[in-house]
Amino acid sequence: MRKQIAAANWKMNLSVSEAATLFDQLLVTEHNLSAHQEAIFAVPAIYIPLATQKLTGKNNYYVAAQNCYPKSNGAYTGEISAPMFASVGVKHIVIGHSERREYFGESDGFLAEKTDAVLAAGSIPIFCCGEPLDIREAGTQNSFVETQLKNSLFHLSAEEITKVVIAYEPIWAIGTGKTASSFQAQEIHAYIRSVFADKYGQAIADQISILYGGSVKASNAKEIFSQPDVDGGLVGGASLIATEFSAIINALK
């Protein structure tokens, strides 16, 4: 069975004391994660030691980085490489979040480099893709997302692509309160899987976890996650509320 994942993206939020309190509140709840289920916390880099400490000894709980630089070392002041994250036990790195694409101009080619760097470090890329509102309204979201995937991931081998987690983000539904219906989520997740099937074969495509990342919350997580091609969520705002994210973890199938 594919990995079912509840991934928290804290973005640039919380003081260190607030982060510690959130972990304490969250971990009071017993989530009883099965072998195929994971809870992943993409925290600001400065809080990775705290997150690692809080999650030590917790089965199927992982710390992730929100970004990395594609070079392994060098004169890149302020950047952090994938091998550096791996050296402190971080095995998941978010790549190409819509905010990185929009605010920092990250191109498909640059994200291909980052993906390669994460895989070379022995880590797992959580690769984000998704369309803005104008593309959705034009009805061209499938071709838009397919282009993102082809440009950044199709140079990978079949073995490498099975190590990548995909996070589909309907950009029009991030932080807006809008959410794709469960039907819309399933429709594009199934299309994304078909894109990989066309390139790598159905057996490989069926191994790839595809997460939904558009305003997931406790009230809609179970319905969205119940869709056959939705393998969990990449969660923003709701991951900053312990009761909300606990319910989202427990909504995994």
Name every residue whose Cβ is closer than 8 Å to that of residue 120 and which is 6 or more positions away in sequence.
72, 82
Residue with tokens 């959130």: 22
CA distance 210 to 194: 12
99, 169, 189, 244: which one is catalytic? 169
The encoded tokens of residue 106 equal 């990250």
The encoded tokens of residue 211 equal 């997460």
CA distance 198 to 91: 28
**42-81 burial string, b = 16+ CB within 10 Å, else e?**
bbbbebbebbbebbeeeebbbbbbbbbbbeeeeeeeeebb
97, 99, 189, 244: which one is catalytic? 97
Active-site residue, 97 included: yes
Name every residue whose Cβ is closer than 8 Å to that of residue 68 and which is 6 or more positions away in sequence.
79, 80, 81, 82, 85, 93, 95, 114, 117, 118
φ, ψ (nearest 5 deg) of residue 76: -125, 70
CA distance 101 to 144: 14
Catalytic residues: 97, 169
